[in-house]
Structure 1
Amino acid sequence: MEPAVGKHSFLRNVLVRLLLFGVFIVIIRFAYVITITGESCNVGDFCFFSSPEAINVAVTGSSAGALAVRSSAEVTTPEHHASKDWINGVRFYSSVFQDFIAGGYLSPAAKSLCVDTPIGMEVFALKEIGVVDAVGISKKALKPLVKSGEGHQIPFGNNTFDFVFSGNGGLERSVKPSEFVSEIARTLKPEGFAAFHVKARDSYSFNSFVDLFKFCCKVVKFNDIQGFDDSLMPEIREIIVKKIGYRNIDSDSVTDLNRDKKCSVAGYKRESVKNAEPLIEEEPLKPWITLKKNVKNIKYLSSMVDISFKNRYVYVDVGARSYGSSIGSWFKKQYPKQNKTFDVYAIEADKTFHQEYVMKKGVTLLPYAAWVRNESLVFEINNDPGDKNKEKIGRGMGRIRSLESQGGDGGGGVEKIQGFDFADWLKNTVTMNDFVVMKMDVEGTEFDLIPRLFETGAICLVDEIFLECHYNRWQRCCPGERSPKYEKTYDQCLQLFNSLRQSGVLVHQWF
Structure 2
Amino acid sequence: MEWYTGKPSLLKNLLVRLFLFCLTIIGIRFTYVVIIRGESCDSDDFCFFSSPEKPNLVTGVKESSSSAIILSDAASALSSPEKTALSTKDWKKSVDFYSSVFQDLIVDGYLLPNSKSLCLETQMGQEVYALKEIGVLDSIGIYNKSSKANNHPFENNTFDFIFSSNTGLDSSLKQGEFAAEVCRTLKPEGFLVVHTSSKDTYSLNSFIDLFNCCKFIRSRDLTTTTTNVREIVMKKVNILNGGESSSVNECSIPEYKKELVKLSEPLIEEEPLKPWITLKRNIKNVKYLSSMADINFKERYVYVDVGARSYGSSIVSWFKKQYPKQNKTFDIYAIEADKAFHEEYRSKKGVTLLPYAAWVRNESLFFEVNDVKKGGERGMGRIKPVQSSSVGGNEIIGFDFANWLKMTVTEKDFVVVKMDVEGTEFDLIPRLYETGAICLIDEIFLECHYNRWQKCCPGQRSPKYEKTYGQCLELFTSLRQSGILVHQWW
State TM-score, norm by structure 2.
0.85
Residues 188 and 236 of structure 2 are in contact (CA less than 8 Å); yes or no, is this contact kept in structure 1? yes
Residue of structure 2 in register with 1:398 after alignment: 381
Per-residue deviation, 1:79 = 2.0
Cα distance in structure 1, aligned partners of 2:409 and 2:335: 15
1:109-128 to structure 2, matched below 5 A, reads 109-128=114-133
Residue of structure 2 in register with 1:265 after alignment: 253
Matched, 1:86 2:74: no
Secondary structure of the corresponding residue to residue 238 of structure 1: strand
Residue of structure 2 in register with 1:494 after alignment: 473
Residue of structure 2 in register with 1:240 after alignment: 233
Per-residue deviation, 1:186 = 0.9
Matched, 1:276 2:255: no
Secondary structure of the corresponding residue to residue 428 of structure 2: helix
Q: 1:325 to 1:20 in 2, by over 3 A?
A: closer
What is the letter of the counterpart of residue 85 of structure 2? H
Residues 116 and 151 of structure 1 are in contact (CA less than 8 Å); yes or no, is this contact kept in structure 2? no
Residue of structure 2 in register with 1:53 after alignment: 55
1:344-493 to structure 2, matched below 5 A, reads 344-382=332-370, 388-390=374-376, 393-394=377-378, 396-407=379-390, 410-411=391-392, 414-493=393-472
- 1:362-420 C-alpha deviation (Å, 9 max, x unpaired): 10000000000000000122368xx8433xx32x322100011014xx43xx2111100
Q: 1:197 to 1:227 in 2, by over 3 A?
A: farther
Residue of structure 1 in register with 2:320 after alignment: 332
Q: 1:98 to 1:40 in 2, by over 3 A?
A: farther
Residues 307 and 420 of structure 2 are in contact (CA less than 8 Å); yes or no, is this contact kept in structure 1? yes
Per-residue deviation, 1:268 = 1.4
Cα distance in structure 2, aligned partners of 1:476 and 1:23: 81
What is the letter of the counterpart of residue 353 of structure 2? L
Residue of structure 1 in register with 2:69 after alignment: none
Per-residue deviation, 1:190 = 1.2
Q: 1:439 to 1:367 in 2, by over 3 A?
A: same
Q: 1:203 to 1:377 in 2, by over 3 A?
A: same
Q: 2:109 aligns with which of 88, 99, 104?
A: 104
Secondary structure of the corresponding residue to residue 383 of structure 2: strand
Residues 155 and 185 of structure 2 are in contact (CA less than 8 Å); yes or no, is this contact kept in structure 1? yes
Secondary structure of the corresponding residue to residue 466 of structure 2: coil
Secondary structure of the corresponding residue to residue 408 of structure 2: coil
Q: Percent identity?
A: 61
Residue of structure 2 in register with 1:161 after alignment: 159
Per-residue deviation, 1:219 = 1.1
Cα distance in structure 2, aligned partners of 1:17 and 1:467: 76
Residues 343 and 362 of structure 1 are in contact (CA less than 8 Å); yes or no, is this contact kept in structure 2? yes
Gap runs ≥5 in structure 1: 3-13, 42-50, 56-68, 141-147
Cα distance in structure 2, aligned partners of 1:247 and 1:439: 39
Residues 36 and 80 of structure 2 are in contact (CA less than 8 Å); yes or no, is this contact kept in structure 1? no
Residues 471 and 489 of structure 1 are in contact (CA less than 8 Å); yes or no, is this contact kept in structure 2? yes
Cα distance in structure 1, aligned partners of 2:165 and 2:450: 52
What is the letter of the counterpart of residue 310 of structure 1? K
Gap runs ≥5 in structure 2: 3-11, 40-51, 58-73
Secondary structure of the corresponding residue to residue 402 of structure 2: helix
**Aligned residue-pair number:** 453
Cα distance in structure 1, aligned partners of 2:81 and 2:394: 81
Q: 1:488 to 1:17 in 2, by over 3 A?
A: closer
Q: 1:28 to 1:482 in 2, by over 3 A?
A: same
1:166-181 to structure 2, matched below 5 A, reads 166-181=164-179
What's the RMSD between the two structures over aligned residues?
3.3
Per-residue deviation, 1:177 = 0.8
- 1:251-287 C-alpha deviation (Å, 9 max, x unpaired): 899xx88x52121112211111100100011101111
Cα distance in structure 2, aligned partners of 1:70 and 1:307: 36
State TM-score, norm by structure 1.
0.82
Residues 203 and 296 of structure 2 are in contact (CA less than 8 Å); yes or no, is this contact kept in structure 1? yes
Q: 1:37 to 1:366 in 2, by over 3 A?
A: farther
Residue of structure 2 in register with 1:65 after alignment: none
Residues 88 and 228 of structure 1 are in contact (CA less than 8 Å); yes or no, is this contact kept in structure 2? no
Cα distance in structure 1, aligned partners of 2:307 and 2:327: 26
Cα distance in structure 2, aligned partners of 1:26 and 1:444: 77
- 1:167-201 C-alpha deviation (Å, 9 max, x unpaired): 02421221111111111111111111110000111
17-26 or 457-466, which deviates more? 17-26
